[in-house]
Chain A
């Protein structure tokens, strides 16, 4: 059993890398940017879902960390110069780790909907600060002209740079979710009271995954600065937090790769529909409504349970 699933995993990773690695062959900047966005947002969504789908913590404030990553790059490049792009990426990620660690002590004191509201409040607070502090952040103008340093300035090189970072990140998160630490996180979601009777601290585990998830959110934000060559206060707005929730729900929060698929679908809808009509968010709303009402397990979740039904010939509930 183990060997078979190892083979399947290898096949999946192989396919994933080959498909994304081949995109630059199209010599089409539009496809390249789209694939890059899917990669980065896919990682963001998968990391977010470690918090939400796995541990049961619905943060409505991951935009704060996404923005922190973006502004780490933006501010470094703006004030110190283009050579500081990578340093800015590192600084944003490090800052996110520190902020998440400290903020974790505040927001993880409460659970359920209160956690959600608190994270939203802190997210909006950070958004307001970047918005109002025009002198430093450029306010609503954002920061433009963020070209990555050296050969990373080349679109294709930067794309492969992102691909490698995303693949490593997602690989790490996948390992995490299958590890003893991942099992404890799922237990925290299902029955926190019992976790204490395993001799484990619930909040400490929640803080740990909050920090990990936020670090990857910041990495995503920093990488996006290089994809768009700009950053904007919108990165910190609640709509960003909302979007990553939608991606997870659309793809399926109980499958590891669900959120990645959800991210891909939403980014494609945004681009394809967005190019034709400004009502693309309406389309996304309709898609989400259909999904939640008819296919609550999400795209990947429904696919997995469909396969299971085919195999067993009868209806069988799927677990996580």
Chain B
């Protein structure tokens, strides 16, 4: 099967600090995978390069068969990639509904329309409401986004990404800062969304229950290098990974 995303020999350095070091891997369509690694391993920086927020120094990134290395974020997003952020990135003074609706409107190509009110765009509005229902945020649709609890803001961030109907969705620490119960709910939700929207999904995560609970493939990043890649069982059994990162807790 053609990979949906392929990185080959990607390198990125900040000054002397090599943050992405010859990283190569392939992601198959429909896969749900995790990237793990200690803080500062370069996980977020990798997402930044895949989504065009940063340009790699070397190497190439291929998405759905086309080379997207060096393209602008807007162009990559338009090709079907979505992303939610480690530090929640929403539109705080808009309503929860409008946060998702703006993504749906953008996807439908309506964002240059200057005359009709938002309500006139029925299908975008309905799609946004349906998404909020999937995320369990429908009852808060008319609140302002900054009024939401932290965990709900994280979910809304995912909702904004989903409004674009991405084929590939990148989630940067979806359960960060959540309570154990919230984390459990979010894990189930992420898996549900993956199935419901036929996504290819890559998530960065520190919570091992989430990683080993829902990922089909796990990739371990350490000091910018891809240390290991495999099924959860393979990763658990990998002595290098156990030594370097996971320690005795597994």
Q: Write the residues of chain A forming the contact surface with B, with a CB cutoff of 8 angstroms.
A: 2, 172, 175-176, 178-184, 186-187, 190-191, 193-194, 196-201, 208, 317, 319-320
Contacts and interface: CB of A to CB of B under 8 A. Distances in A.
Contacts of B106: 184, 198-200
Contact of B74 (A179, A183, A199): A199
Interface of B: 51, 53, 72-74, 77-78, 82-83, 85, 89-95, 98, 101-103, 105-107, 110-119, 121, 144, 146-147, 160-161, 164
B160 A194 contact: yes
Nearest to B112: A181
What are the 5 A-B residue pairs with the smallest beta carbon separation, nearest first?
A: A199-B77, A319-B144, A196-B73, A198-B106, A181-B114
Given A180-B113, A197-B83, A198-B103, A190 B91 contact: yes
Nearest to B163: A198
B59 to A, nearest CB: 22
B93 A190 contact: yes
A172 B85 CA distance: 36
B77 A180 contact: no
B93 A319 contact: yes
A283 B44 CA distance: 53
A201 B102 contact: no
A191 B91 contact: yes
A179 B116 contact: yes
A319 B107 CA distance: 26
A197 B73 contact: yes
Given A183-B98, A194-B160, A176 B115 contact: yes
A198 B117 contact: no
A186 B111 contact: no
Contacts, number: 101
Contact of B115 (A179, A197, A317): A179
A319 B118 CA distance: 17
A181 B113 contact: yes
Nearest to B84: A197
A186 B91 contact: yes
A244 B115 CA distance: 25
User: Which of A191, A199, A200, A201 is the most central at the interface, judged by chain B CB atoms within 10 Å of its CB?
Assistant: A199
Nearest to B146: A319
A15 B112 CA distance: 31
28 contacts: A178-B118, A179-B114, A179-B115, A179-B116, A179-B118, A180-B102, A182-B114, A183-B102, A184-B106, A186-B91, A186-B94, A187-B102, A190-B94, A191-B89, A191-B92, A193-B89, A196-B53, A197-B82, A197-B83, A198-B77, A198-B102, A198-B111, A198-B164, A199-B74, A199-B77, A199-B78, A200-B74, A320-B93
Nearest to B92: A190
Nearest to A199: B77
A160 B74 CA distance: 46
A186 to B, nearest CB: 7
B91 to A, nearest CB: 5
B45 to A, nearest CB: 15
Contacts of A172: 114-115
Nearest to A202: B74
Contacts of A198: 77, 102-103, 106, 111, 160, 164
B74 A196 contact: yes
